[in-house]
Amino acid sequence: MAQKVQGTEDLYGGYMRAWQYMQAVAHELFDTYGFDMIETPALEQVDTFVHGIGESTDVVRKEMFRVISGALFEKLLGDGSEKSLKPRQRLAMRPEGTAGVVRAVVENNLVPQGSSPAKLWYAESMFRGERPQKGRLRQFHQVGLEWLGAPDPAADAECIIILMEFYHRLGFDMSKLRLYINSMGDSHCRPAYREKVKQFIYDHKDEMCADCLERAELNPLRSFDCKNERCHEVMKSAPLISDNLCEDCAEHYAQVKAYLDAAGISYVEDPTLVRGLDYYTRTVFEVEVVNVDDVGAIGGGGRYDGLVELEGGKPTPGIGFAVGFERIALALAAQGVDLAGDEPTCVYVACAAPEQRSAVFDATLTLRDAGLRVEADYQGRSLKSQFKQADKLHALVCVVIGADEVTNNTYTLRDMNTHEQISVAKDNLVDEVIKLMYGAEFIDI
């Protein structure tokens, strides 16, 4: 039997409804902040991610799925090397949303000089070649937003406010969420700080793992995230960015916190929060759920004032966040909230005998024109098994059509809860069905 790829999932039924619900909540909320939806291709040139996310990051070095066409694959088998490929032939599945959106903003000139910011949100699959485990997939889904052209600390605060409101609307017990924030400095203060951390790691090289020693050269700040207990202990005494911010970054960070305080958002300052990607500057944030094992971060983001330039655009500040659908669903389930909601209900049109098929067909069309979800029998079942089928499909009402109904221009409506039946005039079908399903006040007069 064919099998799905490890670390991927089929989305259907309740899980699909949960994903759709999450998108609907995002749409409604983000719209009030003026964000429009964007969809960028799942395939980008490798360079889009190398420039943006950074060559030395785990995401780019180890986790990105690289893609080549069948024809090129054959060619590669011939000479065995990727070097002969042109940049436009070196492709990858997107491991995250920001780099692609920023590429799209640059390519389509969505923030012309002096114009208003671009505010965009997305709901897309991401692909990372990680070792699959609970809450860690190879294809997963993110909702995220990107705000290009807004340097003001109020934008940072608003992003975080939107994020927390999003969790609230999804049904989280907010007392169980921890928002961590930090400032990572900018091109003025971070390089010197990075050097300090690098030096610190070299000074403690006997105590650190091999990965951290490699990181010291490429991406020393990542050592703050090392899973090795010993490295973790050592890094507790490493220099902190909070003591190394330049005046502008410190002021920007102070203002972000002041806005969050004013909005009543509680947060924990974590000067070791660095996030994995190179492009972040100044504000970064991450949200975790307390008391839920193994779920990890359920969302995070930050400011990336240098990214647009890295993707070939004019200097344009940016900020955004992304949340992971699968982890949110897990975390909410642990809090007893099911994003899937109830299965959809319907009205079922039952056919007593084959002679009434065309009358059934007419009734289904009429009911669907009124916007109702309508089911009928397409397998020639007996009336009894049609009622069973109607129950399975969560029908609230059955319209029963037999010879008498056709002769008398009526329909029999069966309330599937009480099993009571009434006869209604053909012309009143829609109103009577809606009355039974939802109550008289829902009839559209």
C-alpha to C-alpha distances, 363 to 33, 389, 413, nearest whole angstrom:
43, 18, 12
Other CB atoms within a 10 A radius of the CB of residue 178 amount to 15
Closest CB to ligand AMP among residues 137, 162: 137
Stretch of residues binding ligand AMP (CB under 6 A), selected from 100-108, 201-209, 224-232, 320-328:
320-328
Run of H or E residues at 429: helix 429-438
Residues 214-273 that bind ligand AMP (CB under 6 A): none
Closest CB to ligand AMP among residues 153, 300: 300
Run of H or E residues at 182: strand 177-183
Closest CB to ligand AMP among residues 220, 299: 299
Closest CB to ligand AMP among residues 274, 359: 274
298, 352, 367, 398: residue in contact with ligand AMP (rule CB under 6 A): 298
* Nearest distance from C-beta of residue 123 to ligand AMP, angstroms: 12
Closest CB to ligand AMP among residues 335, 408: 335
Stretch of residues binding ligand AMP (CB under 6 A), selected from 70-78, 176-184, 296-304, 374-382:
296-304
* Cα distance from N-terminal residue to C-terminal residue, the chain: 54
User: Which single residue is written with the structure tokens 């040139």?
Assistant: 45
* Nearest distance from C-beta of residue 206 to ligand AMP, angstroms: 31
Closest CB to ligand AMP among residues 136, 394: 136
Structure tokens at 384: 């009894």
Residue 280 touching ligand AMP (CB under 6 A) = no
Residues 6+ apart with CB under 8 A from 48: 99, 100, 103, 311
* Nearest distance from C-beta of residue 321 to ligand AMP, angstroms: 8
Residues 32-91 that bind ligand AMP (CB under 6 A): none
Residues 119-178 that bind ligand AMP (CB under 6 A): 128, 130, 135-137, 140, 142
| Per-residue burial over 392-414, b = 16 or more CB atoms within 10 Å of its CB, e = otherwise | ebebbbbbbbbeebbeeebbbbb
Stretch of residues binding ligand AMP (CB under 6 A), selected from 311-319, 324-332, 359-367, 410-418:
324-332
Local structure of 90: helix, strand or coil: coil
Residue 306 touching ligand AMP (CB under 6 A) = no
157, 235, 241, 322: residue in contact with ligand AMP (rule CB under 6 A): 322
* Nearest distance from C-beta of residue 298 to ligand AMP, angstroms: 5
* Nearest distance from C-beta of residue 118 to ligand AMP, angstroms: 20
Stretch of residues binding ligand AMP (CB under 6 A), selected from 78-86, 323-331, 420-428, 436-444:
323-331
Rounded (5°) CA angle 298-309-49: 50
Number of residues counted as binding ligand AMP (CB under 6 A): 17
> In the chain, count of helices (H) and strands (E)?
16, 16
299, 302, 313, 320: residue in contact with ligand AMP (rule CB under 6 A): 299
Residue 37 to residue 119: CA distance in whole angstroms: 9
User: Which single residue is written with the structure tokens 């920007």?
Assistant: 252
Q: In what order do the strands lie in the sheet with 346-351?
A: 374-376, 346-351, 395-401, 410-415, 421-425
Residue 318 touching ligand AMP (CB under 6 A) = no
76, 297, 370, 383: residue in contact with ligand AMP (rule CB under 6 A): 297
* Nearest distance from C-beta of residue 49 to ligand AMP, angstroms: 12
H-assigned helices in 221-341: 229-235, 247-262, 307-310, 325-334
Residues 81-120 that bind ligand AMP (CB under 6 A): 96
Closest CB to ligand AMP among residues 130, 152: 130
Residue 349 to residue 420: CA distance in whole angstroms: 16
Local structure of 45: helix, strand or coil: strand
Residue 324 touching ligand AMP (CB under 6 A) = yes
Residues 6+ apart with CB under 8 A from 73: none
* Nearest distance from C-beta of residue 160 to ligand AMP, angstroms: 14
Residue 123 to residue 409: CA distance in whole angstroms: 49
Residue 327 touching ligand AMP (CB under 6 A) = yes
- DSSP state at residue 133: B
Binding residues vs ligand AMP (CB under 6 A): 96, 128, 130, 135-137, 140, 142, 297-300, 322-324, 326-327
